[in-house]
């Protein structure tokens, strides 16, 4: 008789309360996981897609900072049929059941939702962040966790040793057992089998449920609130079995040969965010968003397709209901319901939803947030001093136009908004 395969009960907590202060002004009115990405996604869509594609579909999204935009996105894009018991993506704000306070750290966020954990009685608890761009089959990490008899598994990304000081570094022995954690060390310890790379923590964890519950209760009594700084080092000292799961071994179906294997980006700064968006462009992108075998799910927007009336479009993505009329667009991502008028010239730009670029405007290396009108003949990205006077400019010269106030575009029969001049 064939042995029955063990199928653990899994509950996921996604940490989606991040402020994303280094992404301001994009996070001035929204949390980091709610920031738009690529032609149609938001950052949170990547972790949720990884979970759903991995058949982990009992998901609580723990939110806090300026979460309304994210909550609306989850409501519209991530509804799972109530006919499927145990399948849900549910937003969980601070409940303040144990303490009358907001979440004070990642571990505290899960501690404040221990009632949900105890109600579902999972065998394994997935605790993942919501602010990275990547694909991951989490089932492979679960199998590793079970087969190796781990109490906790930590997803570990191999990074060049010279870049390791930018990350929290995991020290592990030849068997993958974690021996120490280092926070952005000057002299990081290399991987056991590769002196040129080190294991960086991805902030993604699997816990045996009983281990997690006990650890959170002890940490709460001590006033400790963070997984990376408090809970994991405590478990390490108490001789629990903590293992590093090598993300480089994770195999995703449908990945093209030209893609960067093990693609993972922390889009925590404006420049990193811009570069990751550039990674989805081109005939052979570093990260190809089109993968029917491992799709990235997002909004079910029902608007019409983009329209190009005339113009020159090179290496760009156009969102639904966008209209390009006699304009030049190069190396750009233009999201939905954006109008680009005649004579406009855009190069290396990210133009978010509901924006109008008026006649003759020229933009170079600019991020334009939603609901903006860029005036006719404007020049942005050409005069650093003027740009700094009016907008946010990064050290590399990337210009960011913050969220605007235009709430609605009334369009004529050609899809043109108010004030569009012939």
Identify the burial level of 104 via C-beta atoms within 10 angstroms of its C-beta, where 0-12 means exposed, 13-18 middle and 19 or more buried.
middle
The answer to whether the annotation marks 184 as part of a ligand binding site is yes
The answer to whether the annotation marks 21 as part of a ligand binding site is no
Q: Name which of 305, 398, 291 is nearest 348 in CA terms.
A: 398
| DSSP H or E stretch at residue 384 | helix 384-390
Token representation of residue 63: 């939110």
The answer to whether the annotation marks 183 as part of a ligand binding site is yes
Residue 27 DSSP symbol: T
* CA dist list (Å): 129 to 13, 49, 279: 9, 13, 21
The answer to whether the annotation marks 341 as part of a ligand binding site is no
Q: What distance in Å separates the CA atoms of residue 360 and residue 377, rounded to the nearest whole number?
A: 4
Question: Is the peptide bond preceding residue 25 cis, with omega within 30 degrees of 0?
Answer: yes
DSSP-derived secondary structure for 243-299: EEEEGGG---TT--TTSPTT-EEE--SHHHHHHHHHTT-SSS-SS-S--TTS-----
Token representation of residue 238: 């108490």
Exposure class string for 344-354: b at 16+ Cβ within 10 A, else e: bbbbbbbbbbb
Give the CA-trace dihedral at 140, 297, 43, 275, to 10 degrees.
90
Q: Which residue has the tokens 């501690």?
A: 111
- Residues forming a β-bridge with 206: 126, 153
Q: What distance in Å separates the CA atoms of residue 47 and residue 54, rounded to the nearest whole number?
A: 11
Q: Which residue has the tokens 């799709």?
A: 295
Q: Cβ(405)–Cβ(31) under 8 Å?
A: no
Q: What distance in Å separates the CA atoms of residue 54 and residue 123, rounded to the nearest whole number?
A: 16
Q: What is the separation, in whole angstroms, between the first and last Cα of the chain?
A: 77
The binding site for alpha-D-glucose 1-phosphate consists of 168, 183-184, 201
The binding site consists of 168, 183-184, 201
């Amino acid at each position: 008789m064939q042995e029955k395969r063990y199928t653990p009960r899994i509950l996921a907590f996604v940490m989606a309360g991040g402020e994303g202060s280094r992404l301001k002004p994009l996070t001035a009115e929204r949390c980091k996981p709610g920031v738009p990405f690529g032609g149609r996604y938001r950052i949170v869509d990547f972790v949720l897609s990884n979970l759903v594609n991995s058949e982990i579909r009992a998901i609580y999204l723990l939110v806090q900072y300026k979460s309304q935009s994210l909550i609306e996105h989850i409501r519209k894009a991530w509804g799972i049929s109530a006919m499927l018991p145990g399948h849900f993506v549910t937003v969980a704000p601070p409940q303040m059941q144990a303490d009358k306070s907001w979440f004070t750290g990642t571990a505290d966020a899960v501690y404040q939702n221990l009632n949900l954990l105890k109600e579902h009685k999972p065998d394994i608890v997935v605790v993942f962040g919501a602010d990275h761009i990547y694909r991951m089959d989490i089932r492979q990490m679960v199998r590793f966790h079970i087969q190796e008899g781990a109490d906790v598994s930590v997803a570990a990304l191999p990074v060049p040793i010279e870049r390791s000081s930018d990350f929290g570094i995991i020290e592990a022995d030849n068997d993958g057992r974690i021996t120490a954690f280092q926070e952005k060390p000057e002299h990081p310890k290399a991987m056991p089998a590769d002196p040129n790379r080190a294991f960086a923590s991805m902030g993604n964890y699997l816990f045996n449920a009983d281990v997690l519950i006990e650890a959170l209760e002890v940490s709460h009594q001590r006033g400790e609130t963070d997984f990376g700084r408090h809970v994991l080092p405590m478990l390490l000292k108490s001789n629990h079995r903590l293992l590093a799961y090598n993300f480089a071994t994770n195999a995703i179906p449908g990945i093209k040969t030209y893609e960067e294997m093990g693609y993972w980006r922390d889009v925590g700064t404006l420049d990193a965010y811009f570069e990751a968006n550039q990674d989805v462009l081109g005939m052979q992108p570093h990260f190809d968003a089109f993968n029917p075998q491992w799709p990235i799910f997002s909004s079910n927007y029902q608007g019409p397709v983009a329209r190009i009336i005339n113009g020159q479009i090179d290496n760009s993505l156009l969102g639904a209901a966008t209209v390009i009329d006699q304009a030049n667009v190069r190396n750009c991502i233009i999201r939905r319901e954006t109008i680009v008028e005649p004579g406009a010239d855009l190069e290396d730009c990210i133009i978010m939803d509901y924006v109008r670029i008026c006649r003759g405007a020229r933009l170079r290396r600019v991020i334009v947030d939603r609901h903006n009108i860029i005036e006719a003949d404007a020049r942005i990205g050409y005069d650093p001093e003027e740009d700094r006077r009016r907008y946010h400019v990064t050290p590399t010269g990337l210009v960011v136009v913050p969220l605007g106030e235009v709430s609605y575009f009334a369009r004529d029969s050609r899809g043109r908004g108010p004030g569009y001049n012939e």
